[in-house]
Amino acid sequence: MAPNLPMKRLVLAVALLCAGNGAQAESAVDAKLMELVQQLNDRVDRLERRNAELEKQVNPQTAPTADIDRRLRSLEQANAELEKSLDSNTISENEPELTARLKAVEQNTLAMKKPGGWGSTRRSPI
């Protein structure tokens, strides 16, 4: 593993420094230091393996974002078309069905409010 290399070098450098300075110390202390360095090295290896496992678990979870992005773009485009068609006063067969229905309801409502509109009981004077 490439990411392990710098940490291992650091651990080995610390071990060599301890060993170099420990030449004057007792061999039992040197052995204890080397054991601690080895334990640290083993722990770093375990942590890096665990980190790699967790990264593998996270990466598959990012794949659905492409699908979400595609769906979001589609919804934004549909919303833009809806807003554009609502800005015009005419009903067109090329606009979204929701807009055409809404405009038809608005026209029918306005027609009912006008004098002589739908359901009016007034008769023309002729």
Instruction: Find all residues with CB under 8 Å of 77, minimum gap 6, and list them.
Output: none
Q: Splitting the chain (126 residues) into consecutive groups of 10 residues, what average pLDDT does each group show? A: 60 68 64 89 94 83 75 93 86 82 87 72 50
So what's the pLDDT on residue 20? 60
So what's the pLDDT on residue 101? 86
Which is nearest to 112 in space by CA: 121, 123, 124? 121
| Tokens 């009981």, residue located | 121
pTM: 0.39
So what's the pLDDT on residue 124? 47
Is residue 121 helix, strand or coil?
Answer: coil
So what's the pLDDT on residue 1? 44
